[in-house]
Chains A and B, each alone.
Chain A
Amino acid sequence: MYKYNEFDEAAVRSRVAQFRAQVQRRIDGSLTEDEFRPLRLMNGLYLQLHAYMLRIAVPYGTLNPAKMRQLATIAERWDKGYGHFTTRTNLQLNWPRLKDVPDMLEALADVGMHSIQTSGNCVRNVTADHFAGAAADEIEDPRPIAELIRQWSTDHPEFQFLPRKFKIGITGSPHDRAVIRSHDVGLRMVRNAAGEPGFEVYVGGGLGRTPMLAQVIRDFLPQADLLPYLEAILGAYNLKGRRDNKWKARIKITVFENGLDAFRADVEERFERLRSQWSGVDQDILAEIRPHFAPPAFRNAPVDSYEAFRAANPVFRAWTDTNLHEHKVDGYAIVSISLKKHGATPGDATSDQMRVMADLAEKYGHGDLRVSHEQNIILPHVHKSDLPAVWQALREAELATANIGLVSDIIACPGMDYCSLATARAIPIAQQIALRFDELKVEHEVGPLKIKISGCINACGHHHVGHIGILGLDKAGVENYQITLGGDGTETASIGEKMGPGFAASEIVGAIERLVLGYLEIRRDAEETFLECVRRVGLEPFRAFLYEQEETADAA
């Protein structure tokens, strides 16, 4: 993975020193909260319901064992011994004390990490396919490009005060695992007819209170033109984006209000002017970045022991059926470590679990770890002969739940258990749904099904792109949960549609159960997934599953 050069190192260290002085001046009264707030937000420090929260950037979700271990140590020493991996592939610590945060940032800097630009109206952490560099369907590894974007966008003087936050997602595979169409800018790596590398560029996506899928602004952008083109997009947005209304300030509204064609014309005109000013130094830097992401030295070894163990052990077999994905190299597999044990908080890992994952990555995974936006951890390169050992170690750490992509692999934002913006809780709903389906023992029969839960309209839990989305609201002082159906975050993206009146906290698990069991009744066959079934039959049969029971009860 990318290793800091002297400039990165100096920049991060000087930022820590700055922030240390700022915290000191806040505590001694030299800075007011109004003065301090933007400074702490620039360093990822929020004030939540019960405590401060530190959001640590995990650029494009990539970690190595040393970084993961340091996160474990920081969580243990200055927090409560656990961390929460988020849908932006970052790590949040929920209990830091203000005076400790500079030391925490210093400890992050020791392993080439920081919290810069994890908040505020700037370009946020770039997210990428969590299978980057490993996926069998990949055209090109997106991480060198993501790192280039990170370097370019960090402290970019023109884009520190955008109308609103700005998120970029990138995938190097035709199968979109990075939800690029929910981003302000989505990049899909492609090849043109001549075989040259470039991007299909999407703009204006976003979830939140006005969910929109990003549209294609450029169907082929040569790879070398990326940064001037991004500057053109951001420049156009910086000028045209609304600053009068926070809820209309994202680029999706700018594109929508101006029209995609007019916005594109502005971008292209800027791009023409900007391109000539780029000397090509960015391509030199990209060339320096690339070797950091060279594939590991894959080994060629027999997989007989794996096949034998798999045949003999049904629990291991179930885990391999759900938690492995196809690797581009024969004999290797991509391992997804579920942070969704039934009844656990989605995305949470204890310091001990972080260390187990770091050790496994070091011993069996070529030192590579990823955070997925689905709040799981990935070991992208594991030789199949090592899988039994990996699985055993994961089991001992309660990390071997075989549920990737199934009903209980739920995305949930922190919700009102932690977040000051939330209108309802999300975590307990996820816990209860997972426990219920574990009890029913149907999740393997149900197959691929993505449930995503947000505790407020800002949609950090991506509910709009859940096959089943759940949105927690405050309805007259009571938690109430609204269901959407048919959302999809992949290359066949769609925004889920509202089903009807919401459900009380005590009713929502039963409602989800009716939807899922109803699907089992009406699916064409075991091959038809939940999403395919919704798309075939429409919402009405599912509305009946949700509401008919109530109407019958009312009639009686």
Chain B
Amino acid sequence: MSRRFTPKVVSANHLVEGDAVWLTADDRWTRDMAEAELIEDEAVAQLRLLFAKGQPNTVVGAELVDAAKGTDGPVPTHFREAFRTHGPTNYVLGKRAQGLRSRGKIPGNETQNV
């Protein structure tokens, strides 16, 4: 029996900036994961991934990543992905420096809103 499909988002790195981006339902690349399209159907996920891979001059390394429904939009289920929405934890740089709210639980920062 194949494993049950868990919800996904399409994520990648921006070709020029290199930072983490997510695919939205209206075909944009966003730097805020909350705006991403949460895909709950496996066939749709594959189609969206193909769509993303068809933009090799905009993004690098498009892939499907596990996510869950949060109050504001999709949130990561793994801490690695949470860091991608947050930037490094040793300095306020990257996503946080751009005024973006981190999504998901950042370990060691348990008061973080999800």
Contacts and interface: CB of A to CB of B under 8 A. Distances in A.
Interface of A: 26-29, 32-33, 47-52, 80, 94-99, 345, 416-418, 425, 427-428, 431, 474, 477-479, 505-506
B15 interface: yes
Contact of A478 (B77, B79, B83, B84): B79
Interface residues of B, number: 27
Contacts of B111: none
Contact of A477 (B57, B78, B90): B78
Contacts of B20: 49-50
A33 B90 contact: no
Given A47-B60, A425-B107, 17 more contacts: A32-B56, A48-B18, A50-B87, A50-B88, A51-B19, A80-B93, A94-B88, A95-B93, A97-B17, A98-B15, A345-B91, A416-B80, A417-B90, A427-B89, A477-B78, A478-B107, A479-B107
25 contacts: A49-B83, A49-B84, A50-B18, A50-B19, A50-B87, A50-B93, A50-B94, A51-B17, A51-B19, A80-B91, A80-B93, A97-B16, A345-B91, A416-B80, A417-B88, A417-B89, A425-B89, A427-B88, A428-B108, A474-B79, A474-B80, A477-B78, A477-B79, A505-B107, A506-B108
Interface string B1-21: 000000000000101111110
Nearest to A33: B60
B103 interface: no
Nearest to A99: B16
A479 B89 contact: no
B108 to A, nearest CB: 6
**What are the 8 A-B residue pairs with the smallest beta carbon separation, nearest first?**
A417-B88, A52-B18, A51-B18, A29-B57, A50-B94, A427-B90, A345-B90, A98-B16
A27 B15 CA distance: 8
A33 B18 contact: no
Given A80-B93, A417-B90, A431-B90, A47 B79 contact: no
A474 B80 CA distance: 10
Contacts of B19: 50-51
Contacts of B89: 417, 425, 427-428
B interface secondary structure, majority = loop
Contacts of B79: 416, 474, 477-479
A505 B110 CA distance: 13
Interface in B59-78: 60-61, 77-78
Nearest to A51: B18
A58 B107 CA distance: 34
B56 A47 contact: no
B48 interface: no
Interface in B79-103: 79-80, 83-84, 87-91, 93-95
A80 B19 CA distance: 14
B68 to A, nearest CB: 12
B99 to A, nearest CB: 15
Contacts of B56: 29, 32-33
A28 to B, nearest CB: 8
Contacts of B15: 26-27, 98
A94 B20 CA distance: 14
Contacts of A48: 18
B79 to A, nearest CB: 7
* Residue from the set A32, A51, A427, A478 with the largest chain B CB neighbour count within 10 Å: A51
Contacts of B91: 80, 345
Contacts of A33: 56, 60-61
Nearest to A53: B18
Contacts of A28: 57
A405 B19 CA distance: 36
A478 B78 CA distance: 8
B19 to A, nearest CB: 6
Nearest to B20: A50
B95 A50 contact: yes
A478 B77 CA distance: 11
B39 to A, nearest CB: 21
Contacts of B108: 428, 505-506
Nearest to B59: A33
A428 B88 CA distance: 10
Contacts of A428: 89-90, 108
A96 B18 CA distance: 8
B60 to A, nearest CB: 5
Interface in B1-47: 13, 15-20
Contact of B61 (A47, A51, A99, A427): A47
A94 B88 CA distance: 10
Given A50-B94, A428-B108, A417 B16 contact: no
Contacts of A26: 15
Contacts of A474: 79-80
Contacts of A99: 16
Contacts of A52: 18
Most buried by A among B16, B20, B84: B16
Contacts of A32: 56
Contact of B84 (A29, A50, A479, A506): A50
Contacts of B83: 49, 416-417
Contacts of A50: 18-20, 84, 87-88, 93-95
Contacts of A505: 107-108
Given A416-B80, A428-B108, A505-B107, A27 B16 contact: yes
A345 B88 CA distance: 11
